[in-house]
A and B are shown apart, each in its own frame.
Chain A
Amino acid sequence: MNIKTILSALILSFGMGAAAQAAEAGVAIEKQSWSFAGIFGTYDENQLQRGFQVYREVCASCHGARLIAFRNLAEAGGPGFSEEQVKALAAEYEVADPAADGGFRTAVPADRWPSPFATEQDARDANGGALPPDFSVLAKARGVSDPFPFWVFNYFTGYSEGGPDYIHALLTGYHDEVPETAPHNSDGTPFELAEGKYYNDYFPGHAIGMAPPLQDELVTYTVAEGEAEVPLTVDQYATDVAAFMMWMAEPHLAGRKQTGFVVLLFLVIFAGLMYATKRKIWAGIEH
């Protein structure tokens, strides 16, 4: 009965918790390498700017981001836009304001991202009855479930990128036609897509209401002089927008991890000093 056993008991108790997600194994999702993963993870400014461009030019026509304010785009640890850029960007948008003439006015950096639809019903009417989910915290509302025993390791690696991994997989998981790998119905008949649905490997039930939103060369990235060309592929767009969505859900991730590292380091050293003090006090006591 020593510290080692205490630690293993702690590990055991968290292992029990992991069972919650273990029960939901689905189609295996390929994990991507993200700059914001791990203890020292931070967002890649260029990637967030590209992801923002994809969001703005492609996704934003249907998907809102009601918790994101224009000012967030200029905050530390984010896409790194300047205050002027954000001001100019906001000025391109109109937001609803009951106090303004006609109920609308030009947006300012303090405003939230305007929703593409006035009401949920409008959104459903425009999308064949399906509701395009808001992007604000969507990257944290999705996840990847690892089979036993692999989820146990996630508690030690701190794997928290299941959301962007799922989003990347979803955006690259479309098929033009129902593939042969599609599951059969319970009565053995082949999988059939309902009218207005698309086949996706990773969407639960495989029939998704969203048409494939990305295609190669859909968005033109501007590359600064002397920097490497970024491929204009679905895979690249999916990666960039998934990273941007993670930033929307966790805008302060980098700062959080930086503080965490300092706190952890402090605690480890402090624990060492405490242990030395404890030994000193207990020295000479048979126990």
Chain B
Amino acid sequence: MSEHSTYTPGNGVEKWLDERLPIIRFSKEHLMDFPTPKNLNYWWTFGAILVMCLGIQIVTGIILAMHYTPHVSMAFDSVEHIRRDVNGGRMIQAFHAVGASMFFAAVYIHIFRGMYFGSYKAPREILWILGVLIFVLMMATAFMGYVLPWGQMSGWAATVITNIFAAIPVIGTPLLELLRGGFSVGNPTLNRFFSLHYLLPFVIAAVVALHIWALHVPGNNNPTGVDVKDSRDTLPFHPYYTMKDAFGMVLFLIPFVWFAFFAPDILGHPDNYIQFSSTVTPAHIVPEWYFLPFYAILRAIDFNILFIDSKLGGVIFFGGSIVILFFLPWLDTSKVRSGNFRPMFKWFYWLFVINFVALTYLGAAPAEGIYVVLAKICTAYYFIHFLIVLPLLSRIETPRPLPTSISESVLSKSHA
């Protein structure tokens, strides 16, 4: 879809530039003229919202790094110093901390949108895989960022999460010591996490560029899941989608600033206002909310499976729950993309969403009584959805008839 250039250099300078680095041509083709299905709904604005989130995190983060001190005896107080004494520091810090939560809220919506409308199916497999890769990088970045304020939850999260790696046979212990920079969580841990926390967002930005490239080869999926047939199905990206995305971004900023200005701590944990102490364990060690579903899966495996002990088993399922996402394009073999035309898939999709929310709840619940049983059931269902339900549905389901084109579906909708 790249042979639709309408660009003619306007003057001598543009012509000179165009023959050497056609950056204006590229921008016009991909940011302005790019043919985009005309029926995209507001769920599609989350791509632009996520770019905005990454931008906010990088800009606020660079400023925070100018005032932050990555040392075990000074990190906690330096964050307070930013809040109390740095000009505008309290807002920059609040936007960065709240921004992490908003980033994940948006990415979950973006992922679940892709799952519902089958945006991972051919020819968009690479696009989906790059997206999962971004999600993994985001989790690593957010985890290391959460350690930097050096509160109780920071330090204990670092302890618990790095401990996970010790369960890996043979290389586990050396890997654990490499991650921590020593035998226990301490100053070297904080320093390497700070260094990597600064590096990874730029890696994310690079993968985002690939993600958008992979989007611009086949073009956008759309709510009907039907391929674009001709130019009547599409609109140029600018001004139609630049405007719609910009509106979506402004709307998204409303809950964002609500939290940043009126309840900046509500998404965090009070214990993180106590400086980390390796000798005092908090009553409950709870990760940030966006890790809870995967944390629930990690904890659900509390039994040995043959020769695999429970700790390694938990790590396998935890890793597996993310790795399985990479294979989604080949697990769901239904030719129909959009859930709107898959009567059975629709039900199982929402069941999966409910199951995921339940896992989130269980990740925060104490590991006792009924919660343990529920966590096991939900973990099992998470995998059943991918490994059994999706492959089976593709075989037994009769999809509803698809519209012949996007413009036909748009017209029938507006006349209905």
Contacts and interface: CB of A to CB of B under 8 A. Distances in A.
B23 interface: no
Interface string A149-184: 000001100111011000000000000000000000
Contacts of B240: 281-282, 285
Contact of A140 (B243, B265, B288): B265
B253 A274 contact: no
B364 A23 contact: yes
Nearest to B287: A20
B263 A160 contact: yes
Interface string B225-242: 000000000010001100
A158 B247 contact: no
Contacts of A9: 109
The prevalent SS among residues of B at the interface is helix
A231 to B, nearest CB: 30
B125 interface: no
B258 interface: yes
Contacts of A6: 42-43, 109, 251
A251 B251 CA distance: 30
A287 B262 contact: no
Contacts of B365: 19, 23
B386 interface: no
A213 interface: no
Contact of A264 (B258, B264, B360): B258
Nearest to A133: B274
Contacts of B121: none
B260 A260 contact: yes
A267 B77 contact: no
Given A19-B365, A267-B250, A278-B244, A3 B270 contact: no
Interface in B262-314: 262-267, 269-271, 273-274, 283-284, 286, 288-290, 292
Contacts of B42: 1-3, 6
A20 B257 contact: no
Given A3-B42, A285-B235, A23 B258 contact: no
A20 B289 contact: yes
B interface, size bucket: 35 or more
Interface stretch (A10-18, A55-63, A233-241): A10-18
Interface in A15-53: 15-24, 39
A143 interface: yes
A270 interface: yes
Contacts of A271: 247, 250-251, 254
B261 A16 contact: no
Contact of B265 (A2, A160, A263, A268): A160
Contacts of B38: 285-287
A281 B239 contact: yes
Interface residues of A, number: 62
B108 interface: yes
Nearest to B109: A9
Interface in B57-77: 77
Contacts of A274: 243, 246-247, 250
A137 B410 contact: no
Contacts of B263: 154-155, 158-160
19 contacts: A16-B289, A16-B361, A17-B290, A17-B292, A19-B360, A20-B288, A20-B289, A21-B364, A133-B274, A136-B80, A140-B265, A140-B270, A158-B258, A158-B262, A160-B264, A256-B91, A267-B250, A274-B246, A285-B38
Interface of B: 38-39, 41-43, 77, 80, 83-84, 90-91, 94, 101, 104-105, 108-109, 223, 235, 239-240, 243-244, 246-247, 250-251, 253-255, 257-258, 260-267, 269-271, 273-274, 283-284, 286, 288-290, 292, 357, 360-361, 363-366, 407, 410-411, 414
Interface of A: 1-3, 6, 9-10, 12-24, 39, 66-67, 72, 133, 136-138, 140-143, 154-155, 158-160, 162-163, 204, 249, 251-252, 256-257, 259-261, 263-264, 267-268, 270-271, 274-275, 277-278, 281-282, 285-287
